[in-house]
Amino acid sequence: MENNIKSYLPQISEYFVKDFGKEYGEVIRQRINDSAFLFVSTSLANKRKLSTAIDNQLLRLTNQFCKEAGNALGISSPYKILTPEELSELKYYDVLIKSSSELNDETYIDFVKFLGKLVQKDKISQKNCENYIKNDKNKEIIKNCIKTICQIYDKNYVDKMRDLTRLKRQLLSNEEPSKTTGAEDRTIDEIDALDIDENEKDILKIKIAEYVLNDETAGFSFYTKSTSGKDMRVCILPPLEELNDSILFHEISHTVNAHNYSAKSGFTLIIDDDNKENQDLDEIITDYFALKAQNLAQKEGFKVCNNENELSLYSCAFMLFRNFLEGYAKDIKSCRMSGDPSLLDKTFGKENIKSLSQLATQFLDLIDTERQGEIVNALEEKYGFDIDKIDFSQKPKSYYEKQYLKFAKTMQETLNNIKEFQKDADSENSL
Ligand SMILES: [Zn+2]
């Protein structure tokens, strides 16, 4: 079926179109049709190949650092590209410089040698180093140079490189990854065959390594550009033995999103720093539209996978979010489909989006325990799916009820604020 998934896409697209409306038909069909689907299983060979992607990425970062450091120091090329191990010396230098203690001559000599490597003068003799640092002015210059590049290293590189190194160690350790399968694995070949540049392929492989090792999400979607600059969406899914329609529709629901807005959410990029904004809110919305399309499919008896569907964590939040999701479906759709990331704040108000986003995270945190099913069922039974019908005068009987009532109250207020915000925006427009 791996290759066959393409044959199901036109029909799946129609369910999304039916829910979103004809005006989005063309763009939805195209986004889904242009997506690539990878069914990821793991094998030892695969892990080794994934770790190569990490090496490539470390090398790229090192490269980038050396360029940046060279520029900051006013060194024109040629400069030497250091190894990640050599670079890690900077962590130690940073601590030394920041500590108030006097630096000794040995440290200054290390500094000189390090900078020597960067400007491709590998063989500065010990004697030359000693002579150079006899002059206090030179010492000051050297110290400032090291300080400058330590700052660059600290700001943009050290965390990323540490995460990558950790991931690699984890990948190559003997522990069996949590997602295993006996199926023949062509993931790496399939990634290599994608029409995206090498850097993006490595980033995707690194995300797959994280996915395989962490077992946090059922699947994920990866947004990138093709080599010709076209939007590309890649859906990463579990192997078919484990896949079900809820996971499939959820990931496809991500691909329906516009690139700019969604690239900020859904999963965490290592390489790009600020991408966690509205992530939980986006997941709840994604799951909501996935479920709507899936319900339409079910009504017609349409099914792709044989496995039983499962209720996702995100769908548990519908009881709190239903009034928002249904009351503002049209606005939510136009934001999701638009490539304009500022539209969200313009439509709902920046503070209101912030509030919804916080509610999403707080609610998911509240119920994301081993007793999730039990907690959610009890809350649903007591409070239903319409927060306007909640009797707030009733005393909560448990911690979960207390928290939920607090969230529901905030949700009511936020929805009122959105109403006010849109009224103001409307009257401004009509002036
Ligand atoms: Zn998702």
Q: Report the chain's mean pLDDT, rounded to a whole number.
A: 85
| Cα 336 to chain centroid, rounded | 17
Phi, psi of 230 (to 5 degrees): -80, 145
User: Who has greater pLDDT, 186 or 195?
Assistant: 195
- Render pLDDT for 90-136 as a digit per residue (tens, 0 to 9): 888 888 888 877 788 888 888 888 888 887 666 677 888 888 888 88
- Of 23-27, 164-168, 299-303, the least confident: 164-168
Tens-place pLDDT, residues 360-371: 999 999 998 888
How far is ligand 1, taken at its centre, from the CA of residue 303, in Å? 20
Tokens (6 digits) for 317: 């939040």
Indicate whether 153 pLDDT > 80: yes
Residue 268 has pLDDT above 70, yes or no: no
How far away, in angstroms, is 69 Cα from ligand 1 center? 38
The mean per-residue pLDDT over the stretch 302-317 comes to: 90
The answer to whether residue 318 scores a pLDDT higher than 70 is yes
Ligand 1 centre to CA of 172 (Å) is 27
* pLDDT for res 400: 95
CA distances in angstroms from 9 to 28, 34, 77, 249, 377, listed in the order given: 11, 10, 51, 11, 34
Closest CA to 209 of 222, 193, 197, 198: 222
Tell me the C-alpha distance between 257 and 253, whole Å.
7
pLDDT at 300: 95
CA of 302 to the centre of ligand 1 (A): 22
Q: What is the distance between the alpha carbons of residues 397 and 373, in angstroms, rounded to a whole number?
A: 18
- Determine the pLDDT at residue 43: 67
From the CA of 266, how far away is ligand 1's center (Å)? 5
pLDDT digits (tens, 9 = 90+) for 380-408: 999 999 999 999 998 999 999 999 999 99
Q: What is the pLDDT of residue 276?
A: 61
Confidence of residue 87 (pLDDT cuts 50, 70, 90): confident
pLDDT at 115: 85
Band of pLDDT at residue 267, cut at 50, 70 and 90: very low
Mean pLDDT of 10-38: 94
pLDDT at 266 over 50: no
Q: What is the distance between the alpha carbons of residues 337 and 339, in angstroms, rounded to a whole number?
A: 7
* 412-430 tens-digit pLDDT: 999 999 999 999 888 877 7
- Rounded Cα distance, 207 and 203, in Å: 6
Alpha-carbon distance of 223 to 260, in angstroms, equals 9
The helix or strand, by DSSP H or E, that contains position 35, with its residue range, turns out to be: strand 35-39
Read off the pLDDT of each residue in 374-379 and give the average, rounded to a whole number.
Answer: 93
Q: What is the pLDDT of residue 302?
A: 94
C-alpha 344 to ligand 1 mean position (Å):
19
pLDDT value at 41 more than 60? yes
The pLDDT of residue 85 is: 81
CA 262 to ligand 1 centroid distance, Å:
10
Instruction: Give every strand in the sheet of 220-225, ordered side by side.
Output: 35-39, 231-237, 220-225
Strand (E) or helix (H) holding 220: strand 220-225
| Mean pLDDT along residues 52-63 | 89
Neighbours of ion ligand 1 (CB under 5 A): 283
- The pLDDT value given to residue 189: 87
> pLDDT value at position 3?
53
pLDDT at 70 > cutoff 50: yes
Percent of the chain with pLDDT over 70: 89
At residue 314 the predicted structure's pLDDT band, cuts being 50, 70 and 90, is very high
